[in-house]
Structure 1
């Protein structure tokens, strides 16, 4: 998970308390062992192991394998090699894929995994689950959904959806996943595309009784606004010819009327997020925001008032699911959204932004 220009974070499940290491081998045959956590320990755990793999040059090709050693008797299991390529901000071309709203529909996940090609990375754009009511489903849902290794050939960039923050066990999710900087919002550059990933929080106010006091997303949205003001000034972000934002709840929708939160109402788009982020996204010259949440494949073109477009993915059922392939080179940024039958739902092209 969480690919970076210098590496990635490896996470895998274990059945008993164990120590974890990751061995890497680059294309020139150089091997290295990665086995130190931020506090100087060999990575260890009784349910998962996580190892930060670093030291690569941008765009470097390598293969990685996990090495697990039981803490009690020293039994060691060496996993299979997996290919990996570090992000390359200077690459001429990038290709990546986007999923959303899988909601533990294993049949859909298996089909998505089957049709999605090997890419630079996979954006899993929120709502991996329904609600986190049972801690036992966290690991299978996040680390091998549908019984698949969805990170094979394409490291995962995870975003939080509103269902990912629901339920009495939701607080455990951050310990089982990784992001580049350890927060649920982050930014990076892959070739000519600058990517900003944001956390839109819940689809009802924080004080809604169904959250039982667990929601504090107003503060998180404000923190992201301050962070966003700094991020869009970074050289690699302000010089990118293509600029894409990912967030689970859309920032625009076809019907933006008020909702009856006391009844069954919920937000189809995140008005609170948009109020804080809109001017910054316009200043950055965002071209498109890619979201999920509504379970309705939808394209909303840019307008004078809303200069960024909005693309929304489908739902968790086989007949409603969709995936997006993003490709970019010097000529164009293309977002092609398909259903599981391979039919094109939306085929969108953006020209490179002029410098400035």
Structure 2
């Protein structure tokens, strides 16, 4: 066979305190593994899946690396071999990775959203965003999945970039990411720590909760043609939220941040008429399911996208968590749907979330004190 054996860089996703997952694209049936080297001189290979097989696939390979100390600095590379031996084996370049460290005194994260397969916007975001502990890609990576070949070019090698270089990815599923004939295959290309589209992790003093807000209309809406079941998923997340926020590393964090694609609050909460082509600007269904658990935990801010408009809503007595909503897909800073990104920096004194446009202008800044 002709053509490149490997079709993307090794993408580091689902960062954890004890490891991460590496995902990469291939052009035909292959097997692969991950080799790693630590700053302390130790080395290892991750080469098995959950069923005792060497990871194999015809479009994508995934390898979970685990059992590492928190805050470990590593170099990793992937090794790929065609099963039919039609091509020489491929060894990727080495790249640096650091496992999450919940004991660190500081933390830094970045947030993208609503990139919608816009190469110009992705290149500008990639250029603007520094190395961080975690890059949260907060939904609507795509428009919809009408061509399965686009999973690799959208998730693993967008605009030909290695977006996880120096920034392990936490992918949040948006409403457009669950649209299209092939949307059910997204989970093959997106790794999460527990294999579910919601998770929680700690980076330094910041506890992060990732939630899946589902679609912007009820499950029974005719446009979904019976393909979605987000109402039970929201209920499952409500139960999970009470469990995960009781874990010591999440319950005791000085700063408490929620990431979800569709906002839980909006500037106009008029009831939507779905029969008249209405859709949710904020997810009332998600808020109804999760609000009490978030308030009980002490969530300080919800960070979202979806609306394509930059908005900052302060906490209120009714909603004691602030809502920060970043921008849209356009690289043109003069556009009404201009892209923006969020830079989060935490220290012992405060957590600062700064939203900037692609020219570097500050659009919103939120400062949060540590919780007692």
Q: TM-score range by the shorter chain?
A: over 0.9
Question: Deviation at 1:261?
Answer: 1.1
Q: Deviations over 1:20-60 (max 9, x none)?
A: 11000000221111101011001111111100011210001
Aligned to 2:226: 213
Aligned residue among 337, 344, 364 for 1:346? 364
Aligned to 2:3: none
Pairing 1:19–2:31 present: yes
Q: How many angstroms apart in 2 are the aligned matches of 1:279 and 1:47?
A: 42
Aligned to 1:272: 285
1:1-356 matches, within 5 Å, as 1-73=13-85, 75-318=88-331, 319=333, 320-354=338-372
Q: How many angstroms apart in 1 are the aligned matches of 2:351 and 2:255?
A: 7
Q: How many angstroms apart in 2 are the aligned matches of 1:163 and 1:14?
A: 25
SS at the partner of 1:112? helix
Question: Deviation at 1:75?
Answer: 2.3
Compare 255-264 and 39-48 and name the one that shifted more. Answer: 255-264
Q: How many angstroms apart in 2 are the aligned matches of 1:260 and 1:107?
A: 35
Q: How many angstroms apart in 1 are the aligned matches of 2:281 and 2:366?
A: 23
Aligned length: 354
Q: How many angstroms apart in 2 are the aligned matches of 1:155 and 1:63?
A: 13
RMSD over equivalenced CA pairs, Å:
0.8
SS at the partner of 1:23? strand
Q: Deviations over 1:204-255 (max 9, x none)?
A: 0111111010111000000000000111111011110000000000000000
SS at the partner of 2:345? strand
5+ residue gaps, structure 1: none
Normalised to the residue count of structure 2, the TM-score between the two structures is 0.94
Q: How many angstroms apart in 1 are the aligned matches of 2:253 and 2:190?
A: 28
Q: How many angstroms apart in 2 are the aligned matches of 1:157 and 1:140?
A: 17
**Deviating 4+ runs (over 4 angstroms):** none
SS at the partner of 1:135? coil
Normalised to the residue count of structure 1, the TM-score between the two structures is 0.98
Q: Deviations over 1:36-89 (max 9, x none)?
A: 101100111111110001121000100100000111117211110000000001
